[in-house]
Amino acid sequence: MNFREEFRLLLRARYPLIYIPTHEEERVETAIKEEAANQGNRSVYTWDFVDGYQGNPNDAAFGKRNPLQALEFVEKILPTAPAVFILRDYHRFLEDVGIARKLRNLARILKSQPKNIVLLSPRISIPDDLTEVLTVVEFPLPSAKDIKTEIERLLVATGNSLSDKFLDDLVRSCQGLSMERIRRVLARGIAAHGELQPEDVDLVLEEKRQTIRQTQILDFYPATEQISDIGGLDNLKDWLLRRGGSFSERARQYGLPHPRGLLLVGIQGTGKSLTAKAIAHHWHLPLLRLDVGRLFAGLVGESESRTRQMIQVAEALSPCILWIDEIDKAFSGLGSKGDAGTTSRVFGTFITWMAEKTSPVFVVATANDIQSLPPEILRKGRFDEIFFVGLPTQEERKAIFNVHLSRLRPHNLKSYDIDRLAYETPDFSGAEIEQTLIEAMHIGFSQNRDFTTDDILESASQIIPLARTAQEQIQQLQEWAAAGRARLASKHSPLSIQRQLQ
């Protein structure tokens, strides 16, 4: 059910108090007025704190700077007169005891009258004593159809035209922006060139980065890493390569559902985050990084509001990759957190969305401590697959050394004994191998020469890998994976051999 259908139903069912969280006042008010006109030609009265009621000359400025008077105005209108009252930014007054009491009184009175009060707010902020009388209705960001209609309207107004391919690219790049931002950035492109040009897509993407930054929850992450930059993890790579075209229209016609997501569990520094970036680059999809810590804001109710905002932005930008790094730190010890249930509500909202989402948002979550994650998140249906990313084998260490040295010394690669380096670095993760090479470069640079195999081995001898400093935790993690609870990311890891022997 879309917004218009839901709002129409609430009007007909005489829901007295409707709360719409949105930044798009103009667009939502247009939709409300159109639906009010379709439902018995209801009168629409709009109020804000600065100007009071507007649009009706008999009541102009009534309730100016007086939010309680704005509610009293509702009772001035004849009980039989159908009307919708739009109150802008009214969330700021809901904590007032007089306002809250008046709203609850009106909720009883308006059940028998064809009147509805609509509270508009950029965010959800509802006191506990009003949760039973307020009905929250989400107003989505513009759909691809809405955006295309707006661009075509703009083209007609300016006398320009676009090719079908450029129009589709422009519509896709605008998804996830409010209509106001779309109009603003397109106007900027027309002001710069006199018409819309292909390079204006970059302006739209920059505006999108600004929007996502302002959420303070999501980051628009540039993904330049490739699948070939990952050393080893052949099972995981094969799984990803098979799903490269799963977001296409051809896949829909074949009957394939959208891929849901991937949980990467394993030891720190083994390439889980690198994999998330490589997926986005290989599938040519935008990468959004979720900072789970920022979801838990200080104000009561704001964490849940931010979670819904994150979901709305991610779905508007779909198809996309939503990367959640170290999800175990956010939801560990869920039942024991003394935060009045905020973490549980955020977690509940999140996993319900993961199970029920139909939008092409591919979630890539990484975790280092699988034991601390709630079992609900591991249930089938949340993710398509759970992969265990363990320490690289000797062959995989060769591949990792080869990837890094090919980037650092492509002209001198054959001078390094990669077989020996892989043999001499047991228990090293990919991140530790990279740090070993950086330390070797410091040795060579300090002596005004290029670094050598011996420098790398000397550096490796100075590094104590995590596999030794956190031996017990890593052993528990490997035992968990060996028990068959996750798919192994590497084909020839010791765990895969151990499974075959069981």
Residue 475: name the closest of 231, 483, 290 by CA: 483
pTM surpassing 0.85? no
pLDDT digit string, tens, across residues 138-159: 998 888 889 999 999 888 888 8
CB atoms within 10 A of CB 307: 22
Residue 345: name the closest of 297, 303, 292 by CA: 303
Banded pLDDT at 479 (limits 50, 70, 90): confident
Q: Extract the runs of DSSP E, i.e. beta strands, from 244-319.
A: 261-266, 287-290
Quote the CA–CA distance of 484 and 491 in Å, as a whole number. Answer: 14
Quote the CA–CA distance of 128 and 160 in Å, as a whole number. Answer: 52
- Give me the sheet containing 287-290, strands edge to edge: 218-221, 287-290, 320-324, 361-367, 261-266, 385-389, 487-488
Contact 237, 230 (CB under 8 A): yes
Contact 223, 277 (CB under 8 A): yes
What torsion, rounded to 10 degrees, do the Cα atoms 205, 207, 210, 211 define?
A: -100
Quote the CA–CA distance of 4 and 251 in Å, as a whole number. Answer: 30
32: helix, strand or coil: helix
117: helix, strand or coil: strand
Which H, E and C letters describe 348-406, residue by residue?
A: HHHHHHHHHCCCCEEEEEEECCHHHCCHHHHCECCECEEEEECCCCHHHHHHHHHHHHH
Q: Which domains does the chain have, with CATH numbers?
A: 3-136 (3.40.50.300), 144-214 (no CATH), 221-389 (3.40.50.300), 394-426+430-464 (1.10.8)
Q: What is the pLDDT of residue 453?
A: 94
Residue 489: name the closest of 119, 124, 234 by CA: 234
pLDDT digit string, tens, across residues 279-327: 888 887 888 988 777 776 555 557 777 788 788 888 877 888 999 988 8
Taking residues 172-185, report their average pLDDT: 85
CA distances from 361 to 3, 22, 96, 377 (A): 21, 22, 40, 17
CA distances from 151 to 146, 147, 173, 319 (A): 9, 6, 12, 21
Q: What is the mean pLDDT of the chain?
A: 86
Residue 175: name the closest of 157, 159, 154, 151 by CA: 151
Q: Please give the angle made by the CA atoms of 338, 300 and 88, to the nearest 5 degrees.
A: 170
Residue 58: name the closest of 67, 70, 45, 49 by CA: 45
Q: What is the pLDDT of residue 335?
A: 56
pLDDT digit string, tens, across residues 333-353: 665 555 557 778 888 888 888
